[in-house]
Structure 1
Amino acid sequence: MNLTKPVAEADLRASDADRDRVAEILREALAEGRLDPEEHAERIDTVYRAKTMGELEPVVRDLPAAGGSRPQPGPGAYAYGPGSPVPDQNLVAIFSASVRKGRWQAPSRINAVAIFGSVEIDLTEAVFPQQQIQINVTAIFGSVEIRVPENITLRSSGSGVLGAFEVETNDAEDANAPLVMVNGYAVLGSVEAKPKRGAWIRDLRSRLREGRRELRQQLREDHRERHQHMRQEQWEWHERLREDHRERRDRFRKGADG
């Protein structure tokens, strides 16, 4: 009777999906500062050289599982970031300009002061660590311009004194959408806040997902290239061995014939 001994889990062959899963954990650890770039590079190299599950497990033994330290997005799939608090941010422009835009973690409170200057706050690509953001604005002979994604709630409580305080209020359909509240005043200056048409937070999530897919694809391609390079080196090594064997055999035969 032939009984096949079951294979231990650690001895199971790792699949590409297993390697990608571990690589995702390492990517999050790098983003959260748990690993520095050098450690991340070393572990990624180990991941794509691993052949068994047992070789993958030690790479992430000291790290939380992917997504374990991050809050799950709500039903509206908004791009809320890590739960750690983000410090208040001050944007001051006195006879100058101050701009904050691009992909950034927006704090719960932003203080914007423009005196004979201009401040631009663009939240269309921002990640919201919390649901509510308060922007306190002071514009004296200056201007403050605020742009937000189209699918968030935008409200205001401010006034203009010989100036303009214009906030295009907007109520999002989704109750889980972020809320941006603009408070303050404009004295011989202007404050303008409105949604940027066509800019949606879920667009950012799509770009992030696409970026992760591109990263995984690049890692897989790098792994295939390294594998092919190793196979080529092995083939060349075997060819050299065969050539050395033929040369020794020919010398031996010539010696025997002499």
Structure 2
Amino acid sequence: MRVSDHDRERTAQQLQRAFSEGRLNQLELEDRLEIALTAKTYADLLGLIDDLPVEQPQVNDVVELESKNGHLKRSGDWAVPRRLRVTSKYGSAELDLSEAVIAHQVVDIELDLTYGSAKIILPEGGVANIDAFHSDWGHVTTADVPSRPRPGAVHVVVTGRTKYGSLTVRYPRKRWFTH
């Protein structure tokens, strides 16, 4: 799969952070940045960040959204925290990450929905692991969304449960414009 400018930039930012932390020397940074900024596919990015630690969530990077029976929705240009907890007894949740600002590679989303459903829209190229999400009477769907982490791609990890609702994880719908 071909990478976007955003994928290349995200990988470059991670490399620069590693350099500022002393994990890479100047020569290693320059070599890896050259590869990252000219990458055409995810295969080109492999190995550039594999030996660097995955960023861990910090306490102040947790946001909690709660509703008893309303619809929780985040879309457009919004800052995605490292960890997002969504709780709703009767309502639903829609988290559109496709145009959001995501400053870290891994996003943990914990869903606690009793009768509600959730929809998560990933940015192009993003991946989502939903193995730790359970639905007692509903369904869990990912439409052609890979679950394994990819270099430079946002990795969303969904945990939690819904008793009677469902979870859908997908990419944005393609828009067709007529002139």
- Scaled by the length of structure 1, the TM-score of the pair is 0.42
Greater relative contact order (CA < 8 Å, ≥ 6 in sequence): 2
Q: Would you say 1:125 and 2:99 are equivalent positions?
A: yes
State the Cα RMSD in Å: 2.9
Name whichever structure is richer in helix by fraction.
1
Q: Structure 1 pair 97/197, CA: closer, same or farther in 2 (3 Å)?
A: closer
- Give the letter for the 2:163 counterpart: V
Which residue number in structure 2 is paired with residue 81 of structure 1? Answer: none
Name whichever structure is richer in strand by fraction.
2
Distance 1:164 1:139 in 2: 13
SS in 1 for 2:61: coil
Which residue number in structure 2 is paired with residue 135 of structure 1? Answer: 109
Q: Structure 1 pair 174/87, CA: closer, same or farther in 2 (3 Å)?
A: closer
Indicate the percent of aligned positions where both proteins have the same amino acid: 25
Which residue number in structure 2 is paired with residue 255 of structure 1? Answer: none
Measure how far apart 1:171 and its partner are: 5.1
1:17-166 matches, cutoff 5 A:
71=13, 75=36, 87-156=61-130, 157-166=132-141
How many residues are paired up? 123
SS in 2 for 1:128: coil
Which residue number in structure 2 is paired with residue 175 of structure 1? Answer: 151
Measure how far apart 1:146 and its partner are: 0.9
CA offset digits 1:4-42 (Å, max 9, x no partner): xxxxxxxxxxxxxxxxxxxxxxxxxxxxxxxxxxxxxxx
Structure 1 unaligned runs (5+)? 1-69, 78-84, 200-258
Distance 2:64 2:158 in 1: 14
Aligned 8 A contact 1:152 1:172 in 2: no
Distance 2:140 2:147 in 1: 19
- Give the letter for the 1:135 counterpart: I
Q: Structure 1 pair 127/163, CA: closer, same or farther in 2 (3 Å)?
A: same
Aligned 8 A contact 1:150 1:197 in 2: no
Which residue number in structure 2 is paired with residue 43 of structure 1? Answer: none
- Extract structure 1 runs of 4+ deviating beyond 4 A: 171-174
- Scaled by the length of structure 2, the TM-score of the pair is 0.59
Distance 2:103 2:166 in 1: 29
Measure how far apart 1:133 and its partner are: 0.3
